[in-house]
Amino acid sequence: MKIDYIGHSCVLLNGSKKVLVDPFITGNPKAKITADEVEADYILVTHGHADHLGDAVEIAKRTGAEVIAMVELGNWIGAHGVTAHPINIGGSLDFGDFKVKMVSATHSSCLPTGEYCGLAAGFIFWLDDICFYHAGDTGLFSDMAYVIAGFEIDLSFLPIGGYYTMDAKDAVKAVKWLECKDVMPIHYNTFPAITTDLDKFVHDVTIHTVATARPVQPGESLEYEKRGRRPIKKYEKI
Ligand code: NI
Ligand code: MN
């Protein structure tokens, strides 16, 4: 499955359906495309902050994509004349080849107007039988080990930039707790405040976890296949 890293937290998964997550494209200094070039069947929005909600409403209007978001945010998006599914933490939707479950994130959220729009969230989703976890914006939290790891994640999209979210060191712990097979780092190096040493993150994931780090540069893609974990059993303490 081709996975496009548009930049920041925005990824586009090109399976039997096109699933777009956190489409911050207009104003994204790392984006190499414009919002009117993106196609999608479903759009997942983790929370209302502008660097995640982004162009969701405009893209959904143009493409007919269905939007999945926290109930208050989803209702606001739906009021703009697009199809929205306003779910809440623990809630699931089954569209056949694409299934999605909303999970917790430890972060804040508001509309572009500054108004309240419910909690920030993350998503576990299954596209063509591959299990993905997009953490949205979050600090490290123990549900990663106690709840999310139980879903046997293939590929996690995790923020590593610090300042607004967990940093790279916490993200390595998250990878351990999630027991995911692969991790794509997101939400780093977009702005000066979230400047991060990517090479160190990749090194630490390799040394300290059974996962493989799969960093992708904005505008480039990862050809992803479901596979086994790296057979390393001995952890070093971090
Ligand atoms: Ni945020
Ligand atoms: Mn953010």
The per-residue pLDDT for 233 is: 55
Q: What is the pLDDT of residues 46-61, one digit of tens each?
A: 999 999 999 999 999 9
| Gyration radius from the chain CA atoms | 16
Query: Measured in angstroms, how far is the CA atom of residue 110 from the centroid of ligand 1?
Result: 9
Query: Measured in angstroms, how far is the CA atom of residue 136 from the centroid of ligand 2?
Result: 7
Query: Measured in angstroms, how far is the CA atom of residue 236 from the centroid of ligand 2?
Result: 30
Query: Measured in angstroms, how far is the CA atom of residue 199 from the centroid of ligand 1?
Result: 24
CB 213 within 8 A of CB 205: yes
Task: Point out the ligand nearest to the CA of residue 159.
Answer: 2
- Cβ neighbourhood burial of 145 (10 Å; 0-12, 13-18, 19+): middle
Number of H helices, E strands in the chain: 6, 14
Task: Point out the ligand nearest to the CA of residue 8.
Answer: 2
Query: Measured in angstroms, how far is the CA atom of residue 45 from the centroid of ligand 2?
Result: 11
Sheet of strand 2-7, all strands in order from the earlier edge strand to the far edge: 84-87, 66-70, 42-44, 18-21, 10-14, 2-7, 220-223
The per-residue pLDDT for 237 is: 55
Query: Measured in angstroms, how far is the CA atom of residue 16 from the centroid of ligand 1?
Result: 29
Q: What is the pLDDT of residues 140-174, one digit of tens each?
A: 999 999 999 999 999 999 999 999 999 999 999 99
The per-residue pLDDT for 230 is: 73
The per-residue pLDDT for 228 is: 81
The per-residue pLDDT for 100 is: 98
At residue 175's C-alpha, the angle toward residues 167 and 224, to 5°, is 110
- Give pTM, 2 decimals: 0.96
Query: Measured in angstroms, how far is the CA atom of residue 137 from the centroid of ligand 1?
Result: 5
Spans of the chain below 70 pLDDT: 231-238
Query: Measured in angstroms, how far is the CA atom of residue 165 from the centroid of ligand 2?
Result: 7
